[in-house]
């Protein structure tokens, strides 16, 4: 069977004045359905550029990208937007939440484009927030939430359209170690539900959760190896059904 993601000789160049920068310089990778991949590499090696192409947020200068049997490298802006809505959930380092909207409204946003009624949107958004342990904080705005809570809202938003591919660009970059591990538990659960997870990270102990580690350098793949001993410390917790339930309120709350 063909891979979920097939990229061949992917090149992305930017023109800065007279200088041409090849952010990606011929990258070829296959990723199967239900893989868990960490993408690593020094600053400037092309990680975000590759994620933006994989996430259909941008188009390559040359090379091909076949996603789920469809050649997306030559699609129009509108076609790409459709693919994004159907197939891909994106999580960013800086959360990218709308400040004036509550958690539930932020999460419900992608469903507007999917043409769902308001009641349906809010119900679905509430379910997703509950699944990431934020059932009690749905009406809070981003500035009333901690960094980890904001990232959980962003993950709920990424999941609300039930995409099969989750792309996360340094999702724990702004979080402390404990909160980072809670976020990695959520990714573990998403992976265990059969989805494909690709995470950019600078941290080896975050990458250690993935089952495969791809390292970029200067816009090319430097190494691509399975991780035979993934970190599973919290796997039992991640798999427990109650992990998907809202947490009970703190005493006195
Ligand atoms: N819009 C742009 N215009 C010009 N050059 C760009 C643009 N975006 C990225 N680049 C350049 O492309 C190269 C790869 O950038 P990219 O953001 O993919 O790196 P990265 O691996 O994600 O780095 P970091 O770890 O710092 O996030 C860099 O040299 C960068 O300066
Ligand atoms: Mg980057």
CATH number at residue 128: 3.40.50.300
CA of 131 relative to ligand 1 center, distance in Å: 34
Q: Is residue 227 in some structural domain?
A: yes
Tokens standing for residue 232:
């599973």
pLDDT tens digits for range 161-175: 889 899 999 999 988
Q: Is ligand 1 within 6 A of the CB of residue 161?
A: no
Average pLDDT of the chain is 90
Strands 62-67, 5-16: pairing kind: antiparallel
Say what the pLDDT of residue 227 is. 96
Most confidently predicted of 22-26, 108-112, 130-134, 189-193: 22-26
User: If you count DSSP H runs as helices and E runs as strands, how many of each does the chain have, helices first?
Assistant: 8, 10
* Strands across the sheet containing 88-92: 88-92, 165-169, 196-200, 36-40, 212-217, 220-226
**Domain total in the chain:** 1
Position 252 pLDDT exceeds 50: no
What is the domain extent for residue 176? 33-51+80-244
Atom 3, ligand 1: residue with shortest CA distance: 14
pLDDT tens, position by position, 121-156: 999 999 999 989 999 999 999 999 999 999 999 999
Q: Is residue 236 part of a domain?
A: yes
Please report the beta strands in the chain, taking only residues with DSSP state E, as ranges in sequence order: 5-16, 19-31, 36-40, 62-67, 70-71, 88-92, 165-169, 196-200, 212-217, 220-226
What pLDDT shows up at residue 241?
Answer: 45
125: closest CA among 93, 148, 102? 102
**What is the number of the ligand 1 atom nearest to the C-alpha of 41?**
21
Written as six digits, the tokens of 244 are 């998907």
Report the Cα 240 to chain-centroid distance in Å: 22
pLDDT category at 233 given cuts 50, 70, 90 is low
**Residue 214, ligand 1, Cβ within 6 A:** no
Cβ atoms of 210 and 199 closer than 8 Å: yes
pLDDT interval class at 221 (50, 70, 90): very high
Instruction: Using the structure block, give the residue that is written with the tokens 């990723």.
Output: 31
Residue 113 forms part of a structural domain: yes
pLDDT of residue 234: 58
């Amino acid at each position: 069977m063909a891979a979920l993601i097939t990229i061949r000789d992917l090149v992305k160049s930017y023109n800065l004045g007279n200088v041409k920068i090849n952010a990606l310089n011929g990258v070829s990778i296959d990723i199967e359905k239900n893989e868990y991949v960490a993408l690593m590499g020094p600053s400037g090696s092309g990680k975000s550029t590759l994620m933006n192409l994989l996430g259909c947020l941008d188009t390559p200068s040359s090379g091909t990208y076949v996603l789920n049997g469809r050649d997306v490298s030559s699609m129009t802006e509108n076609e790409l937007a459709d693919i994004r809505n159907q197939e891909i959930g994106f999580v960013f380092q800086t959360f990218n939440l709308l400040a004036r909207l509550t958690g539930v409204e932020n999460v419900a946003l992608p469903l507007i484009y999917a043409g769902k009624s308001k009641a349906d949107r809010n119900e679905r958004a509430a379910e997703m927030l509950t699944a990431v342990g934020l059932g009690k904080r749905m009406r809070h705005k981003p500035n009333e939430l901690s960094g980890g809570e904001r990232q959980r809202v962003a993950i709920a938003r990424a999941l609300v359209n039930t995409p099969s591919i989750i792309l996360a660009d340094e999702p724990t970059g702004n979080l402390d170690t404990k909160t980072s591990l809670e976020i990695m538990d959520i990714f573990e659960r998403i992976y265990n539900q059969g989805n494909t997870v690709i995470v950019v990270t600078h941290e080896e102990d975050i990458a250690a959760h993935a089952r495969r580690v791809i390292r970029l350098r200067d816009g090319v793949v430097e190494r691509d190896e399975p991780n035979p001993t993934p970190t599973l410390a919290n796997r039992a917790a991640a798999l427990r059904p109650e992990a998907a339930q809202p947490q009970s309120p703190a005493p006195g709350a």
